[in-house]
């Protein structure tokens, strides 16, 4: 199954999910997207850039280097930030870094009325399927 088809199918498994995307944070490219509404292209493009900033921005990279140095750990490329949840006025945004492909991040957007724990659990369960489509 193609990445687009898999993402579309998985959106239906996440409670009150209104959109999802898959981002290559190394390049800042949006690899796939599925939304229930239409959105301006500029907004869609910013999703990829914002996701890359959240996981690989200069401040995040600096924090990771500082933690490694303080703990006496060699720079092996491991990233500390694996999941980020952002609650906005009307939506829950769940960002999950891939395990198999750590430079790829899935973005799941749910209505604020969704059960946060269930949305996070279902998003976590969807990740292996999404990564298998790569």
Cα separation, 50 vs 32, whole angstroms? 15
* pLDDT of amino acid 74: 85
Cα separation, 72 vs 39, whole angstroms? 45
* pLDDT of amino acid 40: 67
**Beta-sheet strands, E only, within the chain:** 17-24, 29-35, 83-87, 91-97, 104-111
By the 8 A CB rule, do 91 and 14 touch? no
Read off the pLDDT of residues 63-93 as tens digits, 9 standing for 90 and up.
Answer: 888 888 888 888 887 788 899 999 999 999 9
**1.20.1250.20, 3.30.450.30, 2.40.50.140, 3.40.50.280: CATH of 3-132:** 3.30.450.30
Domain spans in the chain, listed from the N-terminal domain onward: 3-132
Read off the pLDDT of residues 16-61 as tens digits, 9 standing for 90 and up.
Answer: 999 999 999 989 899 999 988 776 677 777 889 999 999 988 898 8
Q: What is the DSSP letter of 113?
A: T
* pLDDT of amino acid 91: 93
List the one residue out of 8, 42, 21, 46 whose CA is nearest residue 105.
21
Predicted TM-score of the model (pTM): 0.90
Q: What is the DSSP string of 44-75?
A: HHHHHHHHHHHHHSHHHHHHHHHHHHHHT---
Question: In this model, does residue 4 exceed pLDDT 80?
Answer: yes
List the one residue out of 65, 112, 58 whose CA is nearest residue 89.
112
* pLDDT of amino acid 76: 80
* pLDDT of amino acid 34: 92
């Amino acid at each position: 199954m193609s990445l687009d088809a898999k993402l579309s199918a998985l959106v239906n498994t996440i409670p009150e999910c209104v959109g999802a995307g898959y981002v290559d944070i190394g390049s800042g490219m949006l690899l796939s997207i599925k939304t229930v509404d239409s959105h301006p292209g500029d907004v869609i493009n910013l999703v990829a850039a914002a996701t890359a900033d959240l996981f690989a921005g200069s401040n995040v990279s600096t924090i990771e280097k500082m933690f490694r140095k303080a703990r006496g750990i060699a720079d092996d490329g491991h990233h500390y930030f694996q999941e980020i949840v952002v609650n906005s006025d009307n939506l829950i945004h769940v960002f999950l870094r891939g395990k198999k492909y750590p430079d790829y991040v899935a973005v799941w957007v749910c209505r604020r009325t969704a059960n946060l724990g269930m949305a996070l659990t279902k998003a976590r369960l969807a990740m292996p399927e999404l990564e298998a489509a790569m």
